[in-house]
Amino acid sequence: MYTGSKHDSHHGRTGLLQDGKDRHEWREVRGEHEEEGKRGGRKSVLKKGEPLSAQSRLLLAVSGFFAAGNALSGTFVNVYLWKAKQDFTLIGWFTLIHHLTMALTFWVSGKWVKEHNKMNCLRAGVAVSALFYLIVLWFGESAAEYFVLLGVTQGLAAGFFWLAFNVVYFEVTDPDSRDRFNGWVGLIGSGVGMIAPWLSGMLIVRMGAVSGYRFIFTLSLVVFVVGVIVSFFLKKRKTTGTYEWMLTWRCLRQKDTAWRTVSAALVAQGCREGVFGFMIALLVYVHTGNEMKLGNFALISSAVSLVFFMLAGRLLKPRFRRMAMLIGVVMLVLIILPFFWKVSFTTLLIFGIGAAIFYPLYSIPMTTIVFDLIGKEEESAKLREEYIVMRELALNAGRLLGTAVFIAVISFASSPAVMNWLLLGIGSSPLAAYYFMRKAHAA
């Protein structure tokens, strides 16, 4: 989608390719695919239709454990806090602190991933996730009073994990396998998102609130510990270069780079994620008062999501990305409209199924396009850690913006009509994401 050197954020900088060293590093990035291919009898980078590499499959396994641990309890953490305070604003502040900490963690940990051991950063993310649930178990029913500590801990966990995961993901995939890998990530996430919340809801209802919540939080802790153990089978990856702290700022200052427009698209993408990531599940509980209903909602919507992530991962080709994104973003806005008729379990389920069908058309191209842009030029591939940090900073800026707007509006009015218009406004941000991505393509 992005071609030409004028789109590279460092176009015109001097000294980056002053000798053969940098070109060697670029070949080293591409050579990692070839090295893994040779072990399986292949002599080149992964071709279309070939199985994912062993390291790719291991990375999928670790991300699966991370997703499973969060799916078991993550859906119910906000419900747990809501039951203690019944305050949308508190949930908003908890989410805001989470995203702010995650953004800062991405930026600071970039040096760790770039210059030291990125696999330890990945393991730290899974380990701190286990610590988060240990803290929840320690505070018990008074956990809502420590929402700042909980938000910081969860933000650290997400920042460590997703920074390292995205860097390793870039290194173990190539443009031919990237859509397929993203499809598998979505497929696994949908699979565990289908079973785990349903199981958690059933356990909470059958065991009683206190025992049920303690059990699922403990189960999440165990899953994260297993994830750490599995991560040690991922090989230590090479590190090259020195971390450039201010690359994001330099990119945004340049007018002739695609990264400015792409960053605006990522901010728009994050705006919706920041609010819808916690609000829809919370609305299901608020309108049903039953954890089992929330589990059923997750079961149905994730089952649909599993099918459509699988289809999108297999069928979505680069030439269809722009049209797929347009269909996806338009439908993601339209499925909010039933809320203006009535907010109930039925309309929320309509939304959940609709999002499960159309979100893959939007999210897979958004992810793949950005990573293809990183790998397009020698300079940007060499600075992959910094560009991934920039991607995550843009996403989290959007999440912070969306959550801040949510807090500001809810602090003054929280009537059903205000909530519906708020969700429609924030939920329309994918239209802006599509606009900016298309503008970047035309530049």
List pLDDT tens digits, range 353-395.
999 999 988 888 888 888 788 877 777 778 878 888 888 899 9
Contact 132, 143 (CB under 8 A): no
CB-CB neighbours of 364 under 10 Å: 25
* Mean pLDDT (whole number) for 35-59: 57
pLDDT digits (tens, 9 = 90+) for 266-293: 999 999 999 998 899 999 999 998 889 9
CA proximity to 263, closest of 1, 442, 9: 9
The pLDDT confidence band at residue 238, using thresholds 50, 70 and 90, is confident
At 48, give phi and psi (nearest 5°): -60, 135
CB-CB neighbours of 177 under 10 Å: 22
Rounded-to-integer distance, Cα 40 and Cα 142, Å: 53
Handedness of CA 363, 366, 369, 372 (dihedral sign): negative
Provide DSSP, 55-96.
Answer: HHHHHHHHHHHHHHHHHHHHHHHHHHHHHHH--HHHHHHHHH
* Mean pLDDT (whole number) for 210-219: 89
Alpha-carbon Rg for the chain in angstroms: 21
Q: What is the DSSP letter of 238?
A: P
User: Which one-letter amino acid corresponds to residue 189?
Assistant: G
Rounded-to-integer distance, Cα 14 and Cα 231, Å: 39
CA proximity to 234, closest of 103, 66, 101: 66
CA proximity to 380, closest of 262, 274, 219, 294: 262
Rounded-to-integer distance, Cα 371 and Cα 360, Å: 16
pLDDT digits (tens, 9 = 90+) for 152-174: 999 999 999 988 888 887 777 77
Q: What is the pLDDT of residue 332?
A: 95
Q: How many residues does the chain have?
A: 443
CA proximity to 234, closest of 81, 441, 58, 434: 58
- CA-angle at 435, arms to 432 and 437, nearest 5°: 110
Residue 16 has pLDDT above 60, yes or no: no
Contact 441, 370 (CB under 8 A): no
Residue 258 has pLDDT above 60, yes or no: yes
Q: Which two tokens stand for residue 184?
A: 């598998």
Q: What is the pLDDT of residue 51?
A: 65
pLDDT digits (tens, 9 = 90+) for 388-414: 888 889 999 999 999 999 999 998 887
Contact 140, 80 (CB under 8 A): no
Would you put residue 218 in left (φ > 0), alpha (ψ -120 to 50) or beta? alpha
Q: What is the pTM of this model?
A: 0.79
Residue 151 has pLDDT above 90, yes or no: yes
